[in-house]
Amino acid sequence: MIDIPAFSASDLGLRLKQERRAQGLSQAQLAERAGIARQTVIDLEKGKNVSVYVLTGVLASLGKGLQVTDVRPSLDEARAMFGEPDEL
């Protein structure tokens, strides 16, 4: 899976779909591996609401985990984005 932040459920679903395909798995195969219904995989990939329990189970089935990171820019990055001078 590409290390790109997911800012919404649909972003996360797209990343999961990309990872499933990269591993050569069908939705049915992933569902069987995770012990859930294929429809649940479909719902997850569409960004629909599923339990955290299901989400973590699917991630584990793909050999992945969930990491929460701070995506706010640093002060230097914010200055560069807005063209502010380095000296304040």
Residue 62 CA to residue 57 CA, distance in Å, equals 9
Greatest Cα-to-Cα distance within the chain, rounded to the nearest angstrom: 58
- What domains lie within the chain, and their CATH numbers? 9-82 (1.10.260.40)
Task: Grade residue 1 by pLDDT with cuts at 50, 70 and 90.
Answer: very low
* pLDDT one-digit tens code per residue, 3-38: 777 889 999 999 999 999 999 999 999 999 999 999
- Quick: pLDDT tens for 42-58: 999 999 999 999 999 99
d(CA 88, CA 18): 44
